[in-house]
Amino acid sequence: MTDSPRTYHKVAPYRAVWLEGLLTIVTMGCYLFVWFALAARDCKRITGRPFTPILWFFAPLVCLPLPFASHILLKTFSDIEAQRQLPGWSKMQNIAWNGLFSGAYIGAYVFAEFIDSQTLQFVLWAVAFMLFLLLHHRLNRIRQAFESEPMMHRFAGFNALEWVVGLLFLALWAGLFWALGQLKLVNVETTRIEPGTEIVVPEAGVRFTVNQEGWENVPIGTVTDGTAEYELRGPASLNNMWYAVFTYTEHDEFSEVAQNRYATYLEVLPGAQCSASRSLQEGTDLLRSVVSCENTEAGDKQLYISHLIEREKGLVELVGYMWVAPRKYTQYKPQFIKDVKGLITDEK
């Protein structure tokens, strides 16, 4: 058995780099998995090496095998380029590309999971994306070397399924952006909140400070049923995290509202552990109540917290909710609760 290049099957044709990039973007990076599988398939067809393309699908998905898979792929590309006397990358370029690509790719995951710096995460994704386009350009050159070989039927290099999926995703994105645009027209604009910003809600007569990154105010009804006076959503990288301000009339009885919160949280968070406390607002005989309940469901942590403040006429409440992975819970919970407890009413 020799390792000489042979073509057993047709390889994919030249595919425009910009179309490849667009497809990756509209599928939110998922096409990358397919790209690796197709690249492995074509290498197998060109070199006859015993690759299993479907396994290459998982290399970028699982992340950790990516540096090893990339190394094999790059080495195979270099072998093909040497065989066909194509211009290629040196060994150092291969190592540099692999290091940069794998580092940026895995780093973006790590930042998303542990550090939650969206800016850095975006930069890493962009670096990985650009490196990917470079590699695709290299693959195109290899595929062009086999232009005389029989080809599959394509349009602009992509088969029918790829076009359908790509256009479907494109339509979905267009629809989503249109819908968001409509929401912006009828409601408050979504704006990002810098950490340490004091949020003033004049319609509710309250203010509180958000001390964590990644918060933004959202249109009323985004995180509640629309009965809130004001809503904020937490970092997008987390499952779900929000604050909402509610007001109550003077006919709503303080103890009843506080008690209802307690009962409701127990109902929506099965097996929750709760704490409830009441105190007087300093220098007054007006009450404040803090009720918080937390549970673990399907491995994730959930927390509801209500800070209810009595005023001479009516009540006002800041409710916070978070549903995140346990590691994030430990990271976010203390400041999340502290911010809720920091609710201040400007009216007596």
Partner 1 sequence: MRSKLFLLLSLLLTLPVSAEFLQGDALIARAKQFASELEPDAHSALTGLERTYKVEVKDNKVTVYGHKIWFYPTTASVQNNAYESIYFNQLNEQLTVLTAASITPAGKVNYVNESHQKVIAEDTYNTFTETEKMIVSFPAVEVGGITLIAYKIEETLTPERPFWSIRSYPQQTADMLNYSFEAQWDDSARLYFDNTSELVSCEQQPARVFCHAANLVAAESDSVVNWGDQLGQITLSTEPDWQAIKAQVRPGFVNAIENNQGVQPLVDEFADSADGKQAQIQRIFEFVARDIRYVSRSEAGYDIVPHNVDETIDNRFGDCKDKSALLIAMLRAINIDAEPVLVATKRERPGMAGAAAVGLFDHVVVCFSFAGQQYCLDPTDPYTQWQSTSDWIQGRVALNLSNDASLTTIPRPRYRWQLTAQSDITITPEGVQQEFVTLTFLNEYASLMRQNMAGLSQPKRLEYMVDVYHEVANEDAEPVFEISGVDTMSSRLTTHSETIYEPYFNPQQGISLAENDSWLRGELSSSWLNNEVYGQFYPGFLVESEYKIQVPHEWALNRFPPDLNLEHQYGKLTRSYRFEEGDELDTLYVSTTLSMPSRYLAVEEIKAFNDLLNVFYKQAPITFGHDS
Q: Is 250 in the site for partner 1 (CB under 8 A)?
A: no
Q: Which of 25, 86, 106, 276 binds partner 1 (CB under 8 A)?
A: 276
- The minimum distance between CB 277 and partner 1, in angstroms, equals 4
Site membership for partner 1, residue 238 (CB under 8 A): no
CA 259 – CA 347 distance, rounded (Å): 23
In the numeric block, which tokens belong to residue 79?
């072998």
Per CB under 8 A, the list member of 100, 134, 287, 325 interacting with partner 1 is: 287
Contact 322, 337 (CB under 8 A): no
Which residues lie closer than 8 Å to 177 by C-beta, 6 or more apart? none
Stretch that binds partner 1, among 128-136, 189-197, 216-224, 266-274 (CB under 8 A): 266-274
Let me know: does 343 contact 309? Beta carbons within 8 Å. yes
Question: Can you tell me which of 270, 297, 330, 338 binds partner 1, judged by CB under 8 A?
Answer: 270
Considering only 52, 159, 277, 330, the residue that binds partner 1 (CB under 8 A) is 277
CB of 118 to partner 1, least distance (A): 38
Q: CA-CA distance, 204 to 245, in Å (whole number)?
A: 8
For residue 190, CA distances in Å to 113, 184, 213, 233 come to: 24, 7, 15, 10
Q: Does 251 bind partner 1 (CB under 8 A)?
A: no
Other residues' Cβ atoms within 10 Å of the Cβ of residue 110: 12
Q: Token pair of 345, please? A: 């009413």
**Under the criterion CB under 8 A, does residue 225 sit at the interface with partner 1?**
no
In the complex, minimum distance from the CB of residue 312 to partner 1, in angstroms, rounded to a whole number:
10
Q: CA nearest 103: which of 66, 58, 73? A: 66
Q: Binding partner 1 by CB under 8 A: which of 59, 228, 291, 343?
A: 291
Could you tell me the smallest distance in angstroms from the CB atom of residue 339 to partner 1?
A: 21
Q: Does 259 bind partner 1 (CB under 8 A)?
A: yes
2-10, 17-25, 205-213, 281-289 -> range binding partner 1 (CB under 8 A): 281-289
Q: In what order do the strands lie in the sheet with 206-210?
A: 197-201, 206-210, 344-345
Q: Which residue has the tokens 């080809």?
A: 151
Residue 162: count of CB within 10 angstroms of its CB:
20
Should residue 278 be labelled a site residue for partner 1 when binding is judged by CB under 8 A? yes
Kind plus residue range of the DSSP H or E element containing 209 = strand 206-210
Site for partner 1 contains 274 (CB under 8 A): yes
**Segment contacting partner 1 by CB under 8 A, of 4-12, 173-181, 223-231, 275-283:** 275-283
| Binding site residues, partner 1, CB under 8 A | 254-255, 258-259, 262-263, 266-267, 270, 272, 274-280, 285, 287, 289, 291
